[in-house]
Amino acid sequence: MIASKLSQLIYGGDFQPEAWPEALWVEDLALMRRAGVNCVTLGTLSWSKLQPAPDRFDLDWLERALNLLHEFEMVAGISTATDLPPPWFRELFPAAFSERENGSSSLCPNSPVQREHAARLVREIAARVGAHPALAFWQVNLKVESSAPCRCEHCAAHFRAWLQSRYQTLAALNDHWSTAHHGGVFHRWEEILLPRASHGGTLAQELDGRRCTSDAWLGVFLHEKKLLRELTPDLPVTACVTGAHGLVTALDGFALAQHTDFVSFSASLDPLDADPADLAFACDVQRGLGGGKPWFFRPTSVRDPGRAHQAVPRPGQMRLWITQALAHGTEGVMFPRWRAPAGGADKFASAMLPHGFTETRAFAEASQIGADLHKLAIVRGATTRAEVALMLDWENLWAVELDSQPARLNYLEIVRSYYRALFEPDVPIDIVRPEADLTNYKLVVAPALHLVRPGVAENLQAFVDNGGTFLTTFFSGLVDASDRVLPGGYPAAFRQLLGLRVEEFDVFGSQVRHIKTSLRGARCSLWADLIFLEGAEAMASFTEDFYAHRPAITRNAVGRGLAYYVGTQPEPAFLRSFLAEICVDCGVRPPMRVPAGVEATTRSNENGEFLFLLNHNLTLQFADLGPRARRDLLTGELVQGQCQIPPRGVRVLQRV
């Protein structure tokens, strides 16, 4: 449970009372109640308001806001606000800000002075309002910079200390980094610099740089969480992060989730480029990071710097997105803004209460979503039972995308291509790490599992031996945790499991090649492995180039299970049908058959099973429920047989 002080699904937005006259606060809360809001976040951008000068704090307004929320029977999550220091901090401590290769600047995760002042602010807030009855949870905002890590001396010193802790001796470091092969053997710790693309170095050094950066950001969170636990031991603590596809590439999400009481993620959604599989993947990532625990969804349609436009959500689209997130495990929906600001960079961003006030479509839809979530409180605590696991791993993300690899591969695109192929037939999917317990799964898919840590190959071997079906792809099983090629021929880690060896691989990027099975042909791209069978059987072969007629996809019977290998990147339609056939063979079934563009997902708790039907189409659709009646929790009607789902409409059905 995310907030024990509420018996409903959490719904609200970022209040920011400090930015508005107090005369508006009561009006705001009355409108929130009208919209079904029961929770807000406070303090998100307020360090400069909470601490206007180095020696002065002003928390009176925060306590008054909490008092008012309590009167209106609402609760709040308070942000520690430490990710956006006030102007006086930047003036006094310019060295606390990152130096980046791309010219940008933000807080350095290893700055001692930032840690000191953040701790002071956190203590002041927790001591003042930590026991307030309206306070439900703490939120640590992590403004993680993924594109260009910090390059200051604090980070360089932290990197060397991190390496000494990891390797103990320079001899061990030189061995793991394979420095003798690159003419760069280190003889003193002081010689080691932060990895920089323009300075060469080894891939292992770059990989350790990513690990160290991730640990540094985790350290920022743990530093604040420790203080909050000391002062308010019973309040949950979360960390809010933002990134594409449900994750932040610079921070290992599994490592962070181990230390948060619930996962919280902010998603920037584009109404004109809304792929249901993309949002479903992002949602399942959050559920997977938390091991199935409830998580917080923070949707926004603010223009991303990478987009040329900012479209508004279409009628019903935000409701569809939020119900989809609920179907995939969220139990809290928090918008980034309650009231749209009159000025600033976000003045045209989406808000629950826009500039047009209550006589707007946005406010009407926000109110409808609030009413929906109130009716769906019975879903709280419901879980998803999946028989398919998709492996996701940050170290593999970093390793696969290192500059010196034989191709510019996009790890997440490869992983998401397999998720999408399983999503379209509505197969429930758990996102897991390679070391996960695989006992309850029938099928495990591990695309581009290039880097293999100790114990992972044994975990997968045991899964297949005990009757499971495993599938992996090209560029898998090749290197150890230090990016050193494993001995025994490609793919050494999985050679026995897969029953094959790969002699070499041809990388052809966006060019098209073709494969064929006994029944059909398909296009493929990116990669072609030259496979030699060692017990496996060919399921498909290449049709051209010097590897024509050589295996492209294989299957190996091992123990009581099967292991598949896909030595290229097949086109989506082929991948979808191929995985559907494997699912049938494994005994994996979707909740029900539905038309294309309709998503069917289930969650279950002590109150029964809940069927979510989500129509991502712009036309009316029908789903056959069979003779057994179900109650629509949103409308109250009993439904059986052919169930109508309006365009961009949703149904949440419980068996009666």
pLDDT tens profile 94-112: 989 876 655 566 789 999 9
Answer yes or no: are the C-beta atoms of 613 and 599 closer than 8 Å.
yes
pLDDT: is 267 or 9 the higher one? 9
Interval 261-282 mean pLDDT:
91
Interval 321-349 mean pLDDT:
92
Element holding 161 (H helix, E strand): helix 153-167
pLDDT at 439: 97
CA angle 118, 122, 123 (to 5 degrees): 120
Cβ-in-10-Å burial (0-12, 13-18, 19+) of 490 comes to: buried
Interval 317-339 mean pLDDT:
96
CATH-assigned architecture of domain 10-148+220-379: Alpha-Beta Barrel (3.20)
Domain ranges for the chain, please list them.
Answer: 10-148+220-379, 388-586, 598-655
Cα–Cα distance measured from residue 114 to residue 96, given in angstroms and rounded to the nearest whole number: 6
pLDDT tens profile 406-465: 888 999 999 999 999 999 889 999 999 999 999 999 999 999 999 999 999 999 999 999
pLDDT at 196: 73
Answer yes or no: are the C-beta atoms of 196 and 205 closer than 8 Å.
no
Answer yes or no: are the C-beta atoms of 434 and 446 closer than 8 Å.
yes
One-letter amino acid identity for 92? L
Tokens at residue 468, please?
């499971």
Antiparallel, parallel or unpaired: β 443-446 and 429-432: unpaired
Distances in Å between the alpha carbon of 233 and those of 62, 128, 228, 258, 617?
Answer: 21, 15, 7, 17, 47
CA-based Rg of the chain, rounded to a whole angstrom?
26
pLDDT tens profile 194-251: 987 545 568 899 999 999 999 999 999 999 999 999 999 999 999 988 888 889 999 9
pTM confidence score: 0.95
Answer yes or no: CATH 3.30.465.10 is held by domain 388-586. Answer: no
One-letter amino acid identity for 591? P
Place of tokens 């690159």: 182
Q: Which CATH superfamily is domain 598-655 in?
A: Golgi alpha-mannosidase II (2.60.40.1180)
Answer yes or no: are the C-beta atoms of 65 and 42 closer than 8 Å.
yes
